[in-house]
Amino acid sequence: IRHHQEIHVVMGNEACDLDSTVSALALAYFLAQSSPAARATFVPVLNIPRADFALRTETTFLLRDRGIPAASLIFRDEIDLRGLHHAGLLSLTLVDHHVLPGADAALEEAVVEVLDHRPLEQERAPPCRVTVEPVGSCATLVTERIAQGPPGLLDRTTATLLHGTILLDCINLSPAAGKVTPRDVACVALLEERFPELPPRDSVFGALQAAKFDVTGLTTEQMLRKDLKVISSDELALAISGIYVDLEMFLLRPGLLQDLEAFCQARGYVGLVAMTVSFNERHEP
């Protein structure tokens, strides 16, 4: 803001799953490379606090695998979007969502483009560019956008991120899962054609599916927050956490009772229900 630098933020939704993250990273990179003499700096923003990033285990796995350090990422609590907008310096592209939450209503007029694969809930007037298509993964729409752009801008790292994201989102392109569309299949094929060295689909999907539920290295507090639902009334709040380890392993964690008590006290929960989750041979919960 002090330097009056225009910032074009590309931001996913508040769930900040792999699709939102990779769509934001890939599209921001593409826009930065393809926009001629751009006055703005293109910045992908992950729409969660940095402290929550460790909970997105499939995302941390894929980015780490591609050599992208977490220190290079920008999170929602590290950029003042409202301040930039108030200064007239913000343009905002939304990926993997197209409706801002009420807390961000002030940013609506900064939105210049949306790419989403959910049903359209909110019309946007020109000049806002709207791409809302019923595909299995928003990364498919980003892949199509990059493929339609200047040649040579799709590098192996971006292709690997998009390839893995579409496969995970579309359950390894399985028709039985009911998510995949012909456009998702076409984009995976396009990425594999341009980069034949991409790993086999089954191994990519298997690794990401396993990483999605891998809580190795997480603290007890992080494990409880990874899959947390809260049931609340006017006076009481009850936490329900999905725990992705065996019950025996969970109960043997050092200092568990103290951690559980601290977790509830810090958030005002009257109680906590911890539900362990088992997996089949395909590592599906």
Q: Are residues 154 and 44 in the same domain?
A: yes
Residues 69 and 185 in one domain: yes
Last residue within a domain, chosen from 190, 211, 232: 211
Q: What is the extent of the structural domain holding 103?
A: 7-211
- Which whole number is the average pLDDT over 128-155? 96
24 lies in the same domain as 119: yes
In a domain, 243, yes or no: yes
Tell whether 58 and 193 lie within a shared domain.
Answer: yes
Q: Which CATH number does the domain housing residue 232 bear?
A: 3.10.310.20
Buried b (16+ CB within 10 A) or exposed e, 143-181: bbbbeeeeeeebeeebbbbbbbbbbbbbbbbeeeeebbb
> Minimum mean pLDDT among 36-40, 120-124, 180-184: which range?
36-40
256, part of any domain: yes
pLDDT for the residue 2: 66
Q: What percent of the chain has pLDDT over 70?
A: 98
Q: Are 144 and 196 members of one domain? A: yes
The whole-number pLDDT of residue 126 equals 87
Looking at the fold, whether 60 and 85 belong to one and the same domain comes out as yes
The pTM (predicted TM-score) of the whole model is: 0.93
Query: Residue 3 above 70 pLDDT?
Result: no
Residue range 196-202: average pLDDT? 98
- Interval 21-52: pLDDT, tens: 999 999 999 999 998 766 789 999 999 999 99
What is the average per-residue pLDDT within 73-90?
96
60 falls within a domain: yes
